[in-house]
A and B are shown apart, each in its own frame.
Chain A
Amino acid sequence: MTRHLAAFGLYLTAALAQSGVQAPRAGCLLGANGSLRPVYGVAGAFLADVPATTGAISAACSDSLALVKTATSLEVRDASLQLLAQWDAPPGAALFALPRTGQTAFAYYPATGELVQVGPQSAPRTVLDSESLGGDALAIASPDALHLIAVVAGTPGPRLARISVADGVVQTQTPLEDVAAPLALLSDGTVVFADGVGLVIRPPGAAVQRLAQPVIHGNVRQEQSSVLAPTVRPVVTEQRMALPAPAAAIDQMGGLWLAVRLADGSAPMALRLAGGGEQTCRVPAKETAP
């Protein structure tokens, strides 16, 4: 059946010929052994299928692309983890920023400090060289088509940098407090990082409010903070979430989900942050045939 509606200058039509049903795909899961598995299902009923590839050092998935860093190359794969393109890359791990959808993504190589833009049809283009950030990136994200944000380690502490993709200019840098690896950066600026046997989820509002405080150094921090506290109370507070075991790594599993690998080797936790709340569940992995 086809129906129409017209209001607010919009006229929408739905056609059955343009509807389809398929198995839901949630992204990909990087194993500690370098295997990369597609993940199917929905929250509470995920299953990581048999590995589509091995030898991955770092990986991240969106709803439409996957980036995989091997020892010597950067691979661009589709959502089914089929190889689309492969480029030479510096040795070691990589950090990734993949918009939820789309065909453009970003990779950062800690070994060289280089930040590149890449896609299935385009060779990596350097956005930033090793000098421009002034420190090592700990996580990157893509808030929109024109910008990147990055958590950058440095002295006196980590900071959040906003970078123009077109010209590589670092437009703003704001300090971050108390973040530690492993961590992930979401496109809205939320920082997720490990703290003991749990996670800290710090939305951008909380970070901004903290940054409104005057810079305080050393042992006087507590005293001065108490004096200034009434004027700088955060509106948005960070959340803490317990985990079954300490986090070993936080990867982008899909367009909506992070995957938190645990130090005890148990099934990773999928974490979705939406609507001001969080949702978690395990992602078991189908055993490979002997």
Chain B
Amino acid sequence: MTPRLLLSWLALAASGALAQVQVQELQLKALFNPQAPTSYVPGAAVDFGTVPTSAPTTVTFQLANTGPDDAILTLLQVDGSAFTLVRTEGGSEKLVVPAGQSLEFTITFAPSAAGPATGELWVQIATPASSLTPTVQPKVEYDLKGTGSGAIIGPTPTPTPTPTPTPTPTPTPTPVWPSATIGAQPAPLVSGQQSTISIRFNSPLPASGAGLLTMNFTGKGDTQRGFICANGAFAPSQVSFTLSAGDTWARFAGNQTIEFQTGTLASAIAFTAALGDGTALGSQSFTIAPAAVYIDTVVLEAAANGALVEASGYDNTQKASTASFTFYNTSGQQIGLPITVDATAPFASYFANAATGAFSLTQAFSVTGDVSGIGKVAVTIQNAVGPSAGVMSQ
């Protein structure tokens, strides 16, 4: 059964606006005071009202899962240069929204000029979270809109100079940062992959600065997941970037992208970009889906009174069970039937203490006859998703 996600808007802005959005059940509620929520359907507009350009407003939201199953939040994104999404409750560790619980975040409406501004809020979940193969639900969109007032950009009437004995210092204006999109290539992310991550802004940056790109994830830690810095260093969770006025990209050691190693465990990954002072710039979530075992290499060696087969790869579910070995003679003819070994226990024992899905399975075989008659062996390993591709020894 599809769980219902209830997106509750707890308005903490000066207006006291409170809204509720119900995803999947196609119900949106918005209250302009905490006691009276108003409902919207997906696609309806949520109005932030009229906000001075000099005084951005921030609204806190709650994403509530009112369904019977835990849900994985696979996408929570805001588009539109005047709107910025900030995760506030529990960071990204709460990407799994348990049934009956909620996730908090805020959206800041900061109009850069007088006049109307629009944006979109995108929400997507996968359910049930307890499944190895959760079903990704369709994206749900809510329109965001508001109106900026004051601080008009453009020709303004020249005021009549008023003689003053001493000039009043003009406060330095706080730059309004455009919305950022965090992208990954190639997409979707899968285990055992080295991809690139970028942060692109939808308009030129108003000022220079520096910030941090942070990666959080659900589930077990993965020692092989992290950023690959320009100097070759591995950064498990965070890298710095710089911003230059007029640019539309965040730069990692001068580059538009930074390499990212996805690791070997299935997980939901969330990237968050923020300035050094904590000002949020953007966030993006990705799901690395559970997959069949990947066998990278198979090595066949002669051993005392037999043969030794070593299969290396990764199981991003950590639930590998049986391994099947098919032997071939030096002419390429299959020798008998495949030999199946139940390796559930050694896999479980290893993965219990391993912060990785990478493994090396070694299986010894006793051989009666001429061991040199064995030419190759093909190995297949099963996990909860299914059997791996068969990989021949090298």
A7-B335 in contact given A1-B342, A287-B234 (Cβ < 8 Å): yes
Report if B230 contacts A (CB, 8 A): yes
Asked if residues B359 and A18 are in contact (CB atoms below 8 Å), the reply is: no
A19, B346: Cβ atoms closer than 8 Å? yes
Complex interface: chain B residues within 8 A of A284 (CB)? 226, 228-229, 232-234, 261
Given A12-B339, A42-B313, A256-B297, CB of A23 within 8 Å of CB of B233: no
Q: How many A-B residue pairs have CB under 8 A?
A: 176
Judging by beta carbons under 8 Å apart, are A5 and B223 in contact?
no
| Interface: A43 (CB within 8 A) | yes
Determine whether A119 belongs to the interface, using a CB cutoff of 8 Å to chain B: no
Residues of A within 8 A of B138 (CB): none
Cα distance A229–B323 when bound, in Å? Answer: 52
Tell me the bound Cα distance from A53 to B271 in angstroms.
Answer: 35
Give the contacts of B344-384 with A (CB-CB under 8 A).
345-347, 349-350, 354, 356, 358-370, 373-374
**Nearest A-chain residue to B374, judged by Cβ:** A10
Q: Which of B24-32, B34-42, B77-85, B325-333 contacts A (4 or more CB under 8 A)?
A: B325-333
Give A13 to B327 CA distance when docked, in angstroms: 12
Contact of B366 among A13, A40, A47 (CB under 8 A): A13
Query: A24 at interface (Cβ–Cβ under 8 A)?
Result: yes
- Per the bound structure, the CA–CA distance linking A6 and B335 in Å amounts to 7
Measured in the bound complex, the distance between the Cα atoms of B194 and A106 in whole Å is 34
Interface string of B301-338 (1 = CB under 8 A from A): 10000110000111000000000010101000101110
Q: Which residue of B lies closest to A25 (CB)?
A: B360
Would B312 and A24 count as touching, CB distance under 8 A? yes
A196 within 8 A of B: no
- Chain A residue numbers with a CB within 8 Å of B341 are 1, 14, 16, 19
**CB neighbours of B262 from chain A (8 A):** 44-45
Given contacts A23-B358, A23-B360, A256-B394, contact A267 B333 (CB under 8 A): no
**A14 to B336, alpha carbons, bound, how many Å?**
14
Q: Are B358 and A9 in touch, CB under 8 angstroms? A: no
Instruction: For the complex, give the distance between the alpha carbons of A19 and B306 in Å.
Output: 13
Quick check: is B224 within 8 A (CB to CB) of the other chain?
yes
In the complex, what distance in Å separates the CA atom of A48 from the CA atom of B224?
10
Of the candidates B232, B264, B325, the one whose C-beta lies within 8 Å of that of A45 is B264
Query: Quick one: which of A44-67 are within 8 Å of B by CB?
Result: 44-48, 63
What would be 22 A-B contacts, judged by CB atoms less than 8 Å apart? A3-B339, A5-B339, A10-B367, A10-B369, A11-B368, A14-B365, A18-B364, A20-B361, A21-B360, A22-B359, A24-B313, A24-B358, A41-B224, A42-B296, A42-B313, A44-B193, A44-B194, A45-B192, A255-B299, A256-B394, A267-B232, A284-B229
Top 8 nearest A-B pairs (CB, nearest first) are A5-B336, A18-B364, A11-B368, A284-B234, A267-B232, A21-B350, A24-B360, A44-B192
